[in-house]
Homo-oligomer: A and B are copies of this chain.
Amino acid sequence: MNGAQSLIRTLVNCGVDVCFTNPGTSEMHFVAALDDVPEMRGILGLFEGVVTGAADGYARIAGRPAATLLHLGPGLANGWANLHNARRAHTPLVNIVGDHALPHKHLDAPLESDIEAIARAVSGWVRTSTSSEAVALDAADAVRASMEGPGQIATLILPADVSWSDARGPAEPTNPAVAGPPQAHRIEAVAAALGDGQPAALLVGGRVVRGEDGLVAAARVAAGTGAKLLCETFPPRLLRGAGVPAVERLGYLSEFAEMQLAGLRHLVVVDCKEPVSFFAYPDKASVLVPDGCQVHHIAEGDIDPVAALTALADELGAPAEVPLQAAGRPEAPTGDLTAQTMAEALGHLLPEGAIVSDEGNTAGLFVSGATAGCPPHDWLTLTGGAIGQGMPLATGAAVAAGDRKVVNLQADGSALYTIQSLWTQAREGLDVTTIILNNQSYAILNMELARVGAGEPGPMALSMLDLTNPVTDFCAVAQGLGVPAERATDAEGFTAALERALAIPGPALVEAMLPPTL
C-alpha cells in the first residue's frame, strides 16, 4: 500500500467518499489509487473553480465534507475564489493540493510556488504531509479539522513522493470536538435585556437557518419578545417555503439594511457576523448597527447555536407554535420577459424539495418574493461575494441531492467565470436546471458605479460593464459543453421552456433574455 492508497482509504474511513478532481502529473498516484478504493467517487472538473465550488455545494447539502484534488500552486489559485466563498459559508471541506516531490522542491522547477502561503489565506487548517507513513493520520486530522466549529477548509498539501512511497495503512477517524451546551448565565442575561420593551431584532444565520429546528427556535424568540426576525444577507443554506417559519434577509444594499435595522436598541446575533456594509462608499457608514443599539451574542465559540436559541426561547417562556409561511404560488406570467415575470415563472414551477443555487445578482431581485410560498426548498447563496460560485455549487449540490432537483439561478456575467461546470453536469448526468439571466450587462456594477459617486460615467467606463458586444449565446456554449439548452424571449416562452427543462432528469439550461437594464 502506498501513501495515496492509505490516504484515500482513510478519507473513506472518515466518511469522505466524494472527491472532486482536476489533477496533474504530481497527482497521478492519487488518481491511480482511486481504483484501489472503489468506495471513493472521483468527479472530474475541467477547471479548479468548478472543483472547489462543487465541493462546497456538496457539503452544504450532504452536511459532511467532500475532498478536492488540485494540482500545485496554480491549481489551488484557480480554485481559490470558490474556496473563499466556502470559507465564508463555514463549509467543511478537505482541500488536497498536490505538490512536487519533497527532494524536487528546492530546484525551483517551473511549477514551484509557495502553496502554503496561498492556502493559509483561505484555510482554517493547513498541513504539508511530509511522509508516506504519516499521510493517513494527516488525512484523518484534516477531516476532523474541516468539521471543527461551524466547519472550515482544511488544506492538506500532498507531495508526490508522499503519494508514491510505501505506507503502513489507513488511519481511523479522529473525533471532532462536540459543540458545547448553552451557557445559562448568558441566556438569562440576554432574556433579561430583551425584557425592557425596547425595539429589538434577532439576526440569525449559519446553522440556525439551515433546518426547521433552528428556524422554529428563532421564530419562537421573535414571537416571545416582539423582536424582528432577520437573517444574514447571504446564508450558506436557508430552508424556506410553505409551512416553514419565514425570515427576512438583511439587504445587500446598506441603504436597505439601515432601514431594516433603524431604531433598534437590541440586536441578538446568532451564528453570523454583526452587520457591516458589503463595500465601503464615500461618506457612508460601513458599520450597520445603529448608534445606541446593544449587540448580544448567545452562542459564541463552540456552543451549539440552535440549542442556545432554543434555551433562550424556553427562558423567555415563548410559545411553541410560531407563524409559518403560507402556501401559494404566482400565476403563470404573460407578456414581456423581465426580472419580474422570470421570477413569477420560477415561483409557478419550483418543485418541492428543490435546491436553489442562487447567483442571480440584480436580475434575481424578485425571485425571493415569488418563491416564498412554494413547497419547502433550500436556498444556497453567494456567501463570499466571489462571483462564479453558482454553477459549481449547483454541480456539487446535485451530487449530494439524491432525487431532489437543483435549480441554478445564474446571472450572465458571473456564469462565464466557471461555465465549465456544465460539462461535469453532462458527464455525471446531474439533475440541474440552469436559468441564465442574460441581461447583457454587469448590471450590478452599473448600479454600483452610480452609488460610489464617481460622477457621470463616460463611454469607456460604461463599456467596461457592457456585455453586448458580442452578446453571449449561452445556448450555443451549453450545447458545446454537452447540455441541452433553449432560449426564451417572452414570459410564456420562458415558462414553457422552464417546465420542459425541469422535466428532464439531467442537466438542462434555459437562457432568459432580459431587458438590458433592470
Given known pairs A113-B122, A452-B29, A480-B480, the reply for A77 and B73 (CB within 8 Å) is: no
Query: In whole angstroms, what is the CA distance A420 to B35 when docked?
Result: 34
Q: Interface residues of A toward B: which range?
A: 35 or more
Is A276 at the interface (CB under 8 A from chain B)? yes
Given known pairs A74-B80, A113-B122, A118-B121, the reply for A479 and B469 (CB within 8 Å) is: no
Q: Name, among A46, A420, A459, the residue most crowded by chain B CB atoms within 10 Å (CB to CB).
A: A46
By the criterion CB–CB under 8 Å, are B470 and A477 in contact?
A: no
Query: In whole angstroms, what is the CA distance A25 to B469 when docked?
Result: 22
Spell out A's residues near B (CB within 8 Å): 21, 23-26, 28-29, 31-36, 38, 42, 44, 46-47, 49, 73-75, 77-78, 80-81, 84, 88, 100-101, 103-104, 107-111, 113-114, 117-118, 120-122, 160-161, 164, 234, 273, 276-280, 282, 286-287, 383-388, 413, 416-417, 419-420, 423, 426-427, 444-445, 448-449, 452-455, 457-461, 463-465, 467, 469-482
By the criterion CB–CB under 8 Å, are B113 and A84 in contact?
A: yes
Choose among B444, B445, B482 the residue that contacts A470 (Cβ–Cβ < 8 A): B482
Given known pairs A34-B461, A77-B80, A286-B103, the reply for A279 and B47 (CB within 8 Å) is: no
Count this chain's copies in the assembly. Answer: 2
Chain B residues whose CB sits within 8 angstroms of the CB of A164 once the complex forms: 282, 452-454
By the criterion CB–CB under 8 Å, are A458 and B103 in contact?
A: no
Chain B residues whose CB sits within 8 angstroms of the CB of A471 once the complex forms: 482
By the criterion CB–CB under 8 Å, are A110 and B29 in contact?
A: no
10 A-B pairs, CB-CB below 8 angstroms?
A: A23-B445, A31-B465, A42-B460, A73-B121, A74-B385, A77-B118, A470-B481, A474-B480, A476-B476, A476-B479
Choose among B28, B114, B386, B459 the residue that contacts A35 (Cβ–Cβ < 8 A): B459
Give, as a whole number of angstroms, the nearest-CB distance from A90 to chain B: 12
Chain B residues whose CB sits within 8 angstroms of the CB of A74 once the complex forms: 80-81, 84, 384-387
By the criterion CB–CB under 8 Å, are B481 and A472 in contact?
A: yes
By the criterion CB–CB under 8 Å, are A28 and B384 in contact?
A: no
Q: What 6 pairs across the A-B complex have the smallest Cβ distances? A: A35-B458, A470-B482, A476-B480, A77-B80, A74-B386, A477-B480
Given known pairs A74-B81, A118-B117, the reply for A107 and B276 (CB within 8 Å) is: yes
By the criterion CB–CB under 8 Å, are B452 and A25 in contact?
A: yes
Chain B residues whose CB sits within 8 angstroms of the CB of A481 once the complex forms: 470, 472-473, 477
Query: In whole angstroms, what is the CA distance A104 to B278 when docked?
Result: 9
By the criterion CB–CB under 8 Å, are A121 and B111 in contact?
A: no
Query: In whole angstroms, what is the CA distance A111 to B85 when docked?
Result: 9
Chain B residues whose CB sits within 8 angstroms of the CB of A463 once the complex forms: 42, 44
Given known pairs A276-B107, A480-B472, the reply for A23 and B121 (CB within 8 Å) is: no
By the criterion CB–CB under 8 Å, are A461 and B32 in contact?
A: yes
Query: In whole angstroms, what is the CA distance A32 to B456 when docked?
Result: 8
| Nearest CB in chain B to that of A21: its residue | B464
Query: In whole angstroms, what is the CA distance A47 to B476 when docked?
Result: 19
Query: In whole angstroms, what is the CA distance A220 to B420 when docked?
Result: 49
Chain B residues whose CB sits within 8 angstroms of the CB of A78 once the complex forms: 49, 77-78, 80-81, 388, 417
By the criterion CB–CB under 8 Å, are A34 and B479 in contact?
A: no
Choose among B42, B110, B416, B474 the residue that contacts A383 (Cβ–Cβ < 8 A): B110
Chain B residues whose CB sits within 8 angstroms of the CB of A160 once the complex forms: 279-280, 452
By the criterion CB–CB under 8 Å, are A121 and B117 in contact?
A: yes
Chain B residues whose CB sits within 8 angstroms of the CB of A387 once the complex forms: 74
Choose among B73, B107, B108 the residue that contacts A84 (Cβ–Cβ < 8 A): B73
Chain B residues whose CB sits within 8 angstroms of the CB of A117 once the complex forms: 117-118, 120-121
Chain B residues whose CB sits within 8 angstroms of the CB of A49 once the complex forms: 78
By the criterion CB–CB under 8 Å, are A454 and B73 in contact?
A: no
Chain B residues whose CB sits within 8 angstroms of the CB of A38 once the complex forms: 460
Chain B residues whose CB sits within 8 angstroms of the CB of A44 once the complex forms: 463-464
Chain B residues whose CB sits within 8 angstroms of the CB of A109 once the complex forms: 276-279, 286
Given known pairs A383-B110, A460-B34, the reply for A28 and B455 (CB within 8 Å) is: no
Chain B residues whose CB sits within 8 angstroms of the CB of A465 once the complex forms: 31
